[in-house]
Each structure stands twice: as C-alpha cells, then as structure tokens.
C-alpha cells in the first residue's frame, strides 16, 4: 500500500428520505474487508422528513459522520459539495443512499500499488432491476487499464455519472471543482467536464465496484426531467467548453455533447412528439452550435457518419427536413443500398442514408459436444471483432464469452462448447458480436432451432432488431 496514516477513501453518501435503503448503503461499506481505519463515511442528509437520520445515528462507529442540511436543497449538488469540504481521504467516492458498494472493492484498490498512482479509478457498475443484474456502461470497465492518459481510454467521456468512480480528492479541492447548485439536471456532466481538465492518469478495472438500484421502487429524478430542460444544461456545458482552451480533451468533450446529447436525443419519440414550437426553438439553438467556426473546423468531422445528413440540414437551416430525417431514422422503412462497394441503409426515395451494420445467422449445426454457428457480418471491420458474447438477460455472471473464431471474407464461424452452456442457468440469452472494445451487434435469426443440451431445452429463436 502506498498510504500510511491518512485515510485512503472518503465515501460520501447523499440521502433524502431513504429510510428503506440507507442501511444497505452504509452496511455495504462497513462490511468491506478493508480495515475501517482506512476509510471514512460521510452521510450528508438533505433534510429528510422520514426516519433516515435516526437510522444513521444508530450506528456506533467512529468513522461515520452525519451532516444534516438546514433545508432541502432540491438536488444532489449541495450535499455532495458539503461532503467534499469534510472529506480527508486520498480518494473520494459519491454514493447515493439507494445504491451500494460491491463486496471487497475497497480492499481490491487499496492493495494494488499501481492503481494508487491514478488520478481516477473506475470499476464495473452493476445495474439492479426488478428481476435482473446487468452491467451498466459496459465500456467503462471492459478491460483492466493502469494509469492511461485519459484521452487513451475509449469513450470515457460518454459516461459522467459518479457510480464506480474513485477520484483523487486533492485534484477536486485544489482546483475548486464543485457540483453546480443552480442546475437541477446535468450537475454530474458539468462536474466531470471540469474535473477531466485536471485528470491525467486513469485506471479502469473489471472488478464489480458498485450496484445502482433501478428497481421500480426507486424511480430516478432524471426520468422526470423535461427533454428540453436536459438539453438546456447540455447547451450550457457546450458554451463553457467553447470558452476554454482548444485542446484534445475539450474537442473530445464537445464531440460527446454534440453527438450523444444534442443529436442522438433527437432520435426519440419524446422529441418527435413534442410541440413544433419547442422543436423549432431547439433547432435554432443547436444551429448556433453547429455553425460555430471551431465546431465546424475541429469537431464535426469526429461525429458519427450516422448524423451526417442531420448536420447538413442544421447548417442549411432546413428544419422540416431535419425533423423528417429523424422521423425516418426512428420509425421509417429502410432498405439496403449497395453503391460503389459501400453498403448503407436508405429510405424508399433514397433521400436519407446511414451506415449499414448487421449480422445475420447463416447456419447452425450441432454435434455431441458443440454448436457451430456461421454468421454474415456487414459494416464492421473484421480486425475490430473481439468475441461472441452470449449475454444473460437476468444475471451478468451467467454470460458466456467465446473469443475463438474464424472470419473469411464477411463470414464468421464460431464453435460453442456445449459444456459451457450446460453449466449455465436456464434463462433467455442474447447472442451478440462484440467489436471495437464494447460495441454490440445483435445476431439476427429467422426461425426456431432446437438443440440438445444435458439438462435443459435449448432453443435459438428469431430476433427482429
């Protein structure tokens, strides 16, 4: 271990009326295998009106501190900022009271000297739904990386939520980085946008780090926020970035907000079914962004070609065609167009186009010990393909990964040992081609195919999208 007397972790729990979940959160820390002298728990309660504070006070532990705000602040920013002021550990971690840490994660980090050289450590986040456990933001923890330059971690700017992130406290305090208390949505995005300017070394690990509760009894505030309120906060962050130094980090950040937040969000019924006056106002706002000279010179060429047409309509001030494009993208009929050795999806009138990526099952045969499948793959470089993943819809621990395969032209042949399937629980699994680190292509299949397994029925069944 690289630390001595100073506490290694400051776990900041923010709570508001969490009497049903607060004990689970605290116990997930106290039950860690790491000696409790090496961490502190700071519970900042946002003026709860239920039994949350009494439950916290029942803990007879010297390393738990409860701070109660005088009045409810209406969001997580003020409680988190209060926790930052009180923290003394090397790394700070923000834990919502309805979430909880994975067993052993603190010990895992504390006993890895290479990890302790990092400015930020990111582990695997598990999403808990009513009937399933799945990996959340899989791209953040798909492999072990030690002390990478932040710009070398693929898609790191695509996920700005606090779960499974351990951040060096001195960087936050020295640069006076706080959560904005005047934003009711997007406070995480602005905090991590500012923090990333000072982060140099990032490590990612495949170990389970935290569980986020997304059961029906725990509805997220994010879901209730109006679409346009969310975009307002995104536009504020873009304005902030445009005022900063032009460098690789900020270009990547701008790319994230333009593609993922401003454009991808338009591919939704929420946007398409909203009032036309709201759509026009939003279109005018993003027109200012996409016609900014820095954006045109440095950012647009990094945005996915899926939105090439949409960007053209924005820059040409063509609102009606912009809406028509996203209406087609969301629910319109699509045909395959093969021109000049480039395959695209287009509409019936060949007005719009997007890249074509698809994998189809061509053949499935079985022997006594294995199932062999052959699939055609379009729109993906074969060098970027990592594996076939058979992913459980119920429990991520039941996933099967097959990384031994052959590719000839655009045909991929994979052998699946039956003993790997036999040892798994009976459930529904998705067959996925994984490429470029974490991206997924769902294998399309046209008819039922039964297979003979040891103690369960195996059926490959049709998929549509």
149 in the same domain as 32 = yes
| 226 has pLDDT over 90 | no
Q: Is residue 2 part of a domain?
A: no
186 in the same domain as 54 = yes
Closest CA to 389 of 376, 375, 374, 402: 402
Q: Is residue 412 part of a domain?
A: yes
**Can you tell me the mean pLDDT for 321-330?**
97
Distance between CA atoms of residues 241 and 272, nearest Å: 28
454 in the same domain as 370 = yes
Average pLDDT, the chain: 92
Q: Could you give the number of structural domains in the chain?
A: 3
Distance between CA atoms of residues 399 and 420, nearest Å: 10
317 in the same domain as 271 = yes
* Domain coverage including residue 171: 9-218
pLDDT of residue 3: 45
418 in the same domain as 346 = no
364 in the same domain as 319 = no
375-414: burial string, b at 16+ Cβ within 10 Å, e else: bbbebbeeeebbbbbbbbebebebbbebeebeeeeeebeb
Three-class DSSP labels, 195-215: HHCCCCEEEEEEEEEEEEECC
Q: What is the pLDDT of residues 437-464, one digit of tens each?
A: 888 999 987 667 777 787 777 777 656 5
Last residue of a domain, one of 337, 355, 373: 355
**Can you tell me the mean pLDDT for 404-428?**
92
Q: Is residue 446 part of a domain?
A: yes
Tell me whether strands 439-444 and 358-366 are parallel, antiparallel or unpaired.
parallel
Q: Is residue 444 part of a domain?
A: yes
Q: What is the pLDDT of residues 160-182, one digit of tens each?
A: 889 999 999 999 999 999 999 98
Q: What is the pLDDT of residues 1-32, one digit of tens each?
A: 444 457 999 999 999 999 999 999 999 999 99
155 in the same domain as 35 = yes
Distance between CA atoms of residues 28 and 400, nearest Å: 28
369 in the same domain as 318 = no
**Can you tell me the mean pLDDT for 188-193?**
94
Q: Is residue 3 part of a domain?
A: no
- Tell me the CA distances in angstroms from 63 to 30, 230, 298, 348, one per residue in order: 10, 37, 49, 65
| 116 has pLDDT over 50 | yes
Tell me whether strands 100-101 and 120-128 are parallel, antiparallel or unpaired.
unpaired
Q: Is residue 1 part of a domain?
A: no
**Can you tell me the mean pLDDT for 409-426?**
92
55 in the same domain as 156 = yes
Q: What is the pLDDT of residues 41-98, one digit of tens each?
A: 999 999 999 999 999 999 988 899 999 999 999 899 999 999 999 999 999 999 999 9
Closest CA to 411 of 439, 449, 380: 380
Dihedral of CA atoms 420, 422, 423, 426 in degrees, nearest 10, equals 120
243 in the same domain as 117 = no
Last residue of a domain, one of 186, 218, 250: 218
365 in the same domain as 349 = no
From the centroid of its chain, how far is CA 182?
24
Give me the sign of the Cα torsion angle 200, 116, 39, 14. positive
Q: Is residue 4 part of a domain?
A: no
Q: How confident is the model at residue 189 (pLDDT cuts 50, 70, 90)?
A: very high
pLDDT of residue 219: 56
pLDDT of residue 224: 46
Last residue of a domain, one of 355, 373, 398: 355
**Can you tell me the mean pLDDT for 238-262?**
96
Higher pLDDT, 221 or 336: 336
141 in the same domain as 249 = no
Q: What is the pTM of this model?
A: 0.90
Indicate the range of 62-66, 318-322, 341-345, 400-404 predicted with least confidence. Answer: 341-345
| 287 has pLDDT over 90 | yes
| 188 has pLDDT over 60 | yes
- SS3 state at 191: helix
């Amino acid at each position: 271990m690289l630390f001595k007397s100073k506490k290694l972790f400051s776990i900041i729990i923010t709570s508001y009326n969490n009497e049903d979940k607060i004990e689970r959160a605290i116990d997930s820390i106290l039950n860690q295998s790491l000696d409790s002298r090496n961490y502190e728990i700071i519970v900042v309660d946002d003026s709860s009106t239920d039994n949350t504070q009494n439950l916290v006070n029942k803990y007879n532990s010297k390393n738990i501190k409860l701070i109660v705000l005088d009045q409810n602040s209406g969001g997580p920013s003020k409680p988190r900022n209060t926790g930052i002021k009180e923290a003394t550990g090397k790394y700070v971690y923000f834990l919502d009271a309805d979430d909880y840490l994975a067993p052993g994660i603190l010990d895992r980090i504390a006993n890895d000297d290479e990890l302790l050289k990092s400015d930020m450590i990111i582990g695997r986040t598990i999403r808990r739904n009513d009937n399933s456990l799945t990996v959340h933001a899989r791209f953040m923890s798909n492999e072990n990386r030690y002390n990478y330059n932040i710009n070398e971690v693929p898609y790191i700017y695509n996920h700005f939520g606090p779960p499974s992130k351990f951040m060096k406290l001195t960087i936050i305090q020295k640069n006076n980085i706080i959560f904005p208390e005047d934003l009711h949505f997007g406070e995480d995005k602005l905090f991590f946008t500012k923090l990333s300017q000072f982060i140099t070394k990032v490590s990612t690990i495949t170990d389970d780090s935290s569980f986020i509760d997304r059961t029906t009894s725990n509805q997220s505030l994010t879901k209730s926020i109006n679409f346009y309120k969310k975009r307002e906060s995104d536009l504020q962050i873009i304005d902030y970035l445009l005022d900063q130094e032009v460098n690789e980090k900020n270009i990547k950040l701008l790319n994230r907000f333009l593609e993922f937040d401003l454009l991808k969000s338009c591919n939704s019924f929420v946007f398409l079914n909203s009032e036309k006056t709201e759509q026009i106002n939003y279109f005018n706002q993003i027109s200012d962004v996409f016609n900014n000279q820095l954006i045109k010179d440095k950012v647009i060429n990094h945005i996915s070609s899926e939105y090439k047409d949409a960007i053209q309509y924005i820059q040409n001030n063509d609102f009606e065609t912009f809406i028509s494009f996203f209406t087609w993208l969301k629910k319109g009929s699509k045909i395959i167009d093969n021109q000049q050795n480039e395959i695209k999806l287009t509409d019936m009138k060949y007005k719009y186009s997007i890249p074509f990526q698809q994998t189809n099952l061509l053949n499935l045969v079985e022997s006594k010990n294995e199932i062999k499948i052959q699939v055609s793959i379009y729109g993906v470089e074969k060098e970027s393909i990592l594996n076939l993943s058979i992913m459980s819809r119920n429990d991520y621990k039941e996933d099967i990964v097959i990384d031994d395969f052959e590719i000839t032209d655009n045909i991929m042949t994979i052998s699946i040992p039956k003993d790997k399937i036999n040892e798994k629980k009976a459930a529904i699994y998705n067959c996925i081609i994984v490429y470029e680190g974490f991206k997924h292509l769902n294998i399309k299949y046209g008819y039922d195919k039964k297979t003979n397994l040891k103690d369960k029925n195996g059926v490959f069944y049709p998929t549509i999208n």
